[in-house]
Amino acid sequence: MKAGFLSGLLLLLVFLVDPTRRDATAATRTGSSAEAGERAYASTDARPADLLFPVPAVSPAAMADSFNDARGERIHHAVDIMAPRHSDVVAVADGTIARLMTSVAGGIAVYEWGAGQRFVYYYAHLQEYAPGLLEGQTVRRGQVLGYVGTTGNAPAHSPHLHFAIARVEKKDQWWGGVPIDPYPIWR
């Protein structure tokens, strides 16, 4: 029993002293060193700073915290900002349009890379895009991206912006990521 304990202790010391063993062990656990490198891309920033409120027609004080609310079998991981239909939806930060898409759930939506691609901002249930908005386009903080609506699974009589933030886990992946609660940013 003492021999097993001592050999385990010796392995632990080797692991702690030799960083190449630690990296190799992490790569083995995650599947490959390339995957480990992609995960290492993830930002250590807790949340983006100095974001503009995405719907200037309403006050952030009117926003309810719905980030952890249940939505059927899932958690919301976003905030819903109720606003009059066709209200401007603006970029919260300087960035690049990563993706324009339409889906059953989100309806007409925009994914915006923040500067440095550390964060992705998701704007959904838009009534329509701003004229001329294109994927790959650079946008400035405050630039109109689209207009509040009820597309996707939004109730027809409840126009709102579904807004989400994700911290990027893998370089160049605008989908997925680690959800960040936007509510405390403006409250």
pTM of the full structure? 0.74
Largest Cα–Cα distance in the chain? 74
CA-closest candidate to residue 26, choices 15, 10, 12: 15
**186 CB-contact burial (10 Å; exposed 0-12 / middle 13-18 / buried 19+):** middle
Residue 126 bridge partners (DSSP): 108, 148
Kindly give the confidence (pLDDT) of every residue in the chain, 187 residues in length, as a single tens digit, with 9 standing for 90 and above: 444 433 343 333 333 333 333 333 333 333 433 333 333 334 445 777 789 999 999 999 888 888 766 677 776 678 899 999 999 999 999 999 999 999 998 899 999 999 888 899 999 999 999 999 999 999 999 999 999 999 998 989 999 999 999 988 777 777 778 888 888 888 7
Provide the pLDDT for residue 151: 93
* Six token digits for residue 123: 């704007």
Provide the pLDDT for residue 174: 74
Q: What separation in angstroms does the CA of 178 have from each of 49, 50, 119? A: 16, 19, 9
What CATH class has 60-186? mainly beta
Which residue is listed with tokens 């001329």?
132
How far is Cα 148 from Cα 130, in angstroms, rounded to an integer? Answer: 11
Provide the pLDDT for residue 70: 64
Would you kindly state where each structural domain of the chain is located, as residue ranges?
Answer: 2-40, 60-186
